Amino acid sequence: MKREFEALGVDKRLRGRMSNETLRVLRHLFSTQAQAYASDLVKFPPFVFEPRPKCPPIWIGGNGDSAIARVIEYGDGWHPMLPAEKLKPAVAALKDKLKAHSRDEIDIVVRRGFRLDDIAAARARVAAEQDAGATYFIFDLGRYPSEREFAAQAEIFISKVAT
C-alpha cells in the first residue's frame, strides 16, 4: 500500500526489485558458506552463519506475472489470492511453467474463512479447494469476543471439518 511505503521512506516503484533481491539474499544465506554478497541494493561481507538451519519454506503471494516469475525462481509455495473456481486453472498453468523450468511441484497455499454453522458445507468447501489444487490451508476462523470462543470454534473446525 502506498502509505506503508511512504511511512518507510521507500519508493513503491522499487518493490519488485526489492522483493527479488530479498529472495536472492535469503537463498544465498541458506545455501552458501559465509560468502560475501554484493548488489546495488544489498551488500555485506563474509560472516559466520552457523549452525546453519534449514531454509524455511518461502511462499510467494500474488497472481500477476511478476509474482508467478518469483514463484518459479524462488518459491517453495504459492499463495494466490483466488477463489476455488479460479484456482484450478491457475494451478494447472503454474504447474506447466514449473515443469518447463525443471522445477518440482510446490505447495499451493490458500487462506479461507469458514462458517461452522453448516459442517457439511464447510467440508465440501475444503474438498473443493483440494480439488482446485490447494495443498496447504490457512484457515481464517475470524474474530471472536474471547479466546475461549475462538478456541471452541477452532476445536469444532479441527474435530468436525478438517478430519
Report whether 72 contacts 93 (CB < 8 A).
no
Whole-model pTM? 0.84
Confidence of residue 56 (pLDDT cuts 50, 70, 90): very high
136 DSSP assignment? E
Kindly state the cell numbers that stand for 68. 508467478
Q: How many CB atoms lie within 10 A of CB 46?
A: 11
Give the residues across from 113 on adjacent strands.
140
d(C-alpha 91, C-alpha 142), whole Å: 26
What is the reported pLDDT for 162?
84
Q: What φ, ψ does residue 81 adopt, rounded to 5°?
A: -110, 65
Residue 52 lies in a domain: yes
Q: What is the mean pLDDT of the chain?
A: 91
44 inside domain:
yes
Residue 14 lies in a domain: yes
Residues forming a β-bridge with 60: 78
Whether residue 43 lies inside any domain: the answer is yes
Q: Would you say residue 142 has pLDDT above 90? A: no
- Tell me, yes or no, whether 31 lies in a domain: yes
3-class secondary structure, 117: coil
Taking the C-alpha atoms of residue 93 and residue 101, their distance in angstroms, rounded to an integer, is 13
Residue 40 lies in a domain: yes
**92-110 mean pLDDT:** 96
| pLDDT at residue 52, rounded to an integer | 83
Mean pLDDT of 81-101: 95
What's the mean pLDDT in 105-118? Answer: 91
Q: Is residue 131 part of a domain?
A: no
Q: Which band of pLDDT confidence, cut at 50, 70 and 90, is reported for residue 34?
A: low
Residue 13 lies in a domain: yes
Number of domains within the chain = 1
User: Whole domain around residue 4: which residue ranges?
Assistant: 1-56
- Give the per-residue pLDDT at 35: 83
Percent of the chain with pLDDT over 70: 99
Q: What separation in angstroms does the CA of 152 have from each of 111, 147, 148, 156, 159?
A: 20, 9, 6, 6, 11
